[in-house]
Amino acid sequence: MLTFSIQLNKNQPAAAQIVRAVKRAVVSGQLRAGDPFPSVRELSKSLKINPKTAHKSVAALVEEGVLETRPNLGTEVSSGWEANQQDKAVLLNSDIQRLVVDAKMCGLGWDEFLKELETEWKEIE
């Protein structure tokens, strides 16, 4: 069972989508330092992807310091990784794009869109 959320899109490389989803889960607190991460086999089976793709994703996350491997214990979320501003912006990019497309489809103008965004921002604060 996966400990993070992801819906793979066939228009983008699966490995990159997995890396982005795991980073998002860490930034949002869905995954926390020390949480166990699925094995390559579990990841491959859960997402119905090639084991090489799962391995590529995990290797990239380990290389970036998001995950760490512990001999005889498995892979877990690292306590030493923190997203920088660029990471955070990249993680939000697809959500922002969807939001803008939805706003345009609903016929909102730029000023109306910003007003709605500001209202939501203030409600959450």
Q: Where are the domains of the chain?
A: 14-77, 85-124
Tokens of 31: 């995954």
| Strand order, beta sheet including 74-77 | 36-37, 74-77, 67-70
Under CATH, which number does the domain 14-77 receive? 1.10.10.10
pTM of the model: 0.76
pLDDT in tens, 44-87: 999 999 999 999 999 999 999 999 999 888 999 999 898 888 87
